[in-house]
């Protein structure tokens, strides 16, 4: 296979890179996310929002294959991924930045990046170019970094694998708002520059909506809102209703998205 093919696929509009079809997620017999459908084109940023406990993390964990899906398929470039196989998903370009970051805390920053490089062309120096703050800390153990630096490292490590789809879970967890504001535009930049689809689960709703193309709101495991981010950003009352778990009034005010 030549390199031209995926690039061509990327360029063709209406040819979604990332497709989730009827994904049902949960633990054992317990179902958490009832149904999740998504078609995303290269370079797009999708914000997945919703109150705590609505199933966002379960969803991303499932999409990445760390948790077997209860139903449905996840495909990249039209090819379905094997269910529940995180290693295969990562090698096919579906890379998760988990909410606990899952860094190799006893390894240095540089080693974390090298470990994830695989056979890809991206070098550690390129990663440091993108995240200059990390370059200064290259010999420091990942466990000794500040929260913001750890988050950068988690994203940088994911980018070493040249992902086609990047799933980022709760990037701002435990971070000061100033740091979050610094990190958020980086997400947009990654999508624009690498052409990766970015799926972003985020607590800071307004900040997420500023960088996203499209937003989906999950409440009790069901998608209750799905619309362009700019549109939703203006509908504060709808968002608040969703966050307060008031599904009825969301449904009343917002006819199902097309």
Partner 1 sequence: MDQHLVFLLFGLANGAIYAALALTLVVTYRSSGVINFATGGLAALGAYTYAFLRRGELLIPIPGLPKTVDLGSELTFWGAAAISVVITSLFGLVLYLAVFRPLRDVPPVGKAVASIGVMLLLSGLYTVRLGDIGITTEPILPVEPWKIAGANVTSDRVWFAIVILAITIALAASFKFTRFGLLTRAAAESEKGAYVSGIQPDRIAAVNWMISGAVAAVAGILIAPIVPLTPNLFTLLIVPALAAAVIGNFQRLLPAVIAGLAIGMVQSELTYLKGQHDWLPSSGRDEMLVLLLILIVLVVRAKPLPSRGVVVRPALGRAPRPRSILLPTVVGTALGAVGVLTLSGDWLIALISGFIFSVIGLSLVIVTGYAGQISLAQLTLAGVAGFAMGRLIDGGVPFPIAPVLAALIAAAIGVVVGLPALRIRGLPVAVVTLATAVAIEAFWFHNLDFVNVSGQDIDGPTILGIDLSARVGFEYPRKEFAFLCLAVLVIVAVGVAKLRTSRLGSQMLAVRANEKAAAGAGIPVVRVKIIAFAMGAFTAGLGGSMLSYFQANITFITFSVFLGLTVFATTYLAGITSVSGGVLSGVVGAGGLLAIGINEGLGLGGDLYPILSGIGLVTILMTQPEGIVGPFHNWLDARRRAKLADLQAVAVQALEGHLEPQEPVPGGDVVLQTRGVAVRYGGVVAVDGVDLDVREGTIVGLIGPNGAGKTTLLDAMSGFTRSTGTIELHGRDLSSLKPHQRVRAAMGRTFQHTELYEDLSVSENIVVGAAAAQGRDPKTLEETLELLGLSDVAEVPVAELSQGRRQLVSIGRALIGNPRVLLLDEPAGGLDSRESQWLGQRLRTLRDSGVTILLIDHDMHLVLNLCDDIYVLNFGKVIAHGVPAQIRADRTVAEAYLGSTHADQEVVS
* 239 is an interface residue for partner 1 by CB under 8 A: yes
* 231 is an interface residue for partner 1 by CB under 8 A: no
* 125 is an interface residue for partner 1 by CB under 8 A: no
- Residue 109: count of CB within 10 angstroms of its CB: 30
* Piece in contact with partner 1 (CB under 8 A), picked from 6-14, 73-81, 83-91, 124-132: 83-91
* Piece in contact with partner 1 (CB under 8 A), picked from 3-11, 130-138, 173-181, 189-197: 173-181
Contact 50, 240 (CB under 8 A): no
| CB hemisphere CA count around 133 (13 angstroms) | 14
Question: Euclidean distance between the first and final Cα of the chain, in Å?
Answer: 37
Q: How far apart are CA 246 and CA 243, in angstroms?
A: 7
Q: How far apart are CA 155 and CA 102, in angstroms?
A: 11
For residues 188 to 227, the per-residue mask of contacts with partner 1, x marking binding by CB under 8 A and - elsewhere, is --------------xxxxxxx----------xxxx-----
SS3 content of the chain, % helix, strand, coil (to 5): 40, 25, 35
* 230 is an interface residue for partner 1 by CB under 8 A: no
* 165 is an interface residue for partner 1 by CB under 8 A: no
Q: How far apart are CA 196 and CA 93, in angstroms?
A: 9
Pairing of strands 165-169, 94-97: parallel
* 69 is an interface residue for partner 1 by CB under 8 A: no
* 25 is an interface residue for partner 1 by CB under 8 A: no
* 140 is an interface residue for partner 1 by CB under 8 A: no
Q: How far apart are CA 176 and CA 250, in angstroms?
A: 30
Assign 234 to helix, strand or coil: helix
31 exposure class (CB count in 10 Å sphere: 0-12, 13-18, 19+): middle
* Piece in contact with partner 1 (CB under 8 A), picked from 15-23, 75-83, 100-108, 125-133: 100-108
Q: How far apart are CA 71 and CA 26, in angstroms?
A: 10
* 132 is an interface residue for partner 1 by CB under 8 A: no
**How many degrees, rounded to 5, is the angle at CA 242 between CA 240 and CA 246?**
105
Among 17, 69, 81, 116, binds partner 1 (CB under 8 A): 116
Among 170, 171, 187, 190, binds partner 1 (CB under 8 A): 170
Q: Which is nearer to partner 1, 181 or 231 (CB)?
A: 181
* 9 is an interface residue for partner 1 by CB under 8 A: no
* 252 is an interface residue for partner 1 by CB under 8 A: no
Q: Could you tell me the smallest distance in angstroms from the CB atom of residue 91 to partner 1? A: 5
In the complex, the residues that contact partner 1 under the rule CB under 8 A are 29-30, 32, 34, 51-54, 64-67, 86-87, 90-91, 95-98, 100, 102-107, 111-112, 114-116, 118, 157-158, 160-161, 170, 172-174, 177-178, 180-181, 202-208, 219-222, 239-240, 243-247
């Amino acid at each position: 296979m030549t390199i031209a093919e995926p690039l061509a696929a990327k360029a063709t509009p209406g040819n979604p890179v990332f497709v989730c079809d009827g994904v049902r997620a949960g633990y054992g017999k317990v179902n958490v996310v009832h149904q999740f459908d998504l078609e995303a084109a290269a370079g797009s940023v999708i914000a997945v929002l919703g109150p705590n406990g609505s199933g966002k993390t379960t969803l991303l964990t499932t999409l990445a294959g760390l948790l077997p899906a209860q139903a449905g398929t996840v495909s990249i470039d039209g090819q379905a991924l094997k269910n529940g196989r995180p290693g295969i998903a990562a090698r096919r370009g579906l890379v998760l930045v988990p909410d606990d970051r899952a860094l190799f805390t006893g390894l240095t920053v540089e080693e974390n990046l090298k470990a994830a490089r695989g056979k890809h062309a991206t070098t550690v120096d390129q990663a440091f170019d993108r995240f200059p703050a990390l370059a200064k800390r290259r010999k420091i153990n990942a466990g000794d970094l500040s929260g913001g630096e750890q988050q950068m490292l988690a994203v940088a490590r994911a980018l070493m694998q040249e992902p086609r789809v990047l799933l980022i879970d709760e990037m701002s967890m435990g971070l000061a708002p100033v740091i979050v504001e610094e990190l958020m535009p980086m997400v947009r930049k990654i999508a624009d520059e690498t052409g990766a689809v970015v799926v972003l689960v985020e607590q800071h709703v307004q900040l997420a909506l500023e960088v996203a193309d499209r937003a989906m709101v999950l409440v009790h495991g069901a998608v209750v809102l799905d619309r362009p981010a700019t549109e939703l950003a203006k509908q504060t009352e709808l968002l608040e209703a969703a966050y307060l778990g008031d599904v009825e009034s969301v449904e009343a005010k917002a006819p199902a998205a097309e």
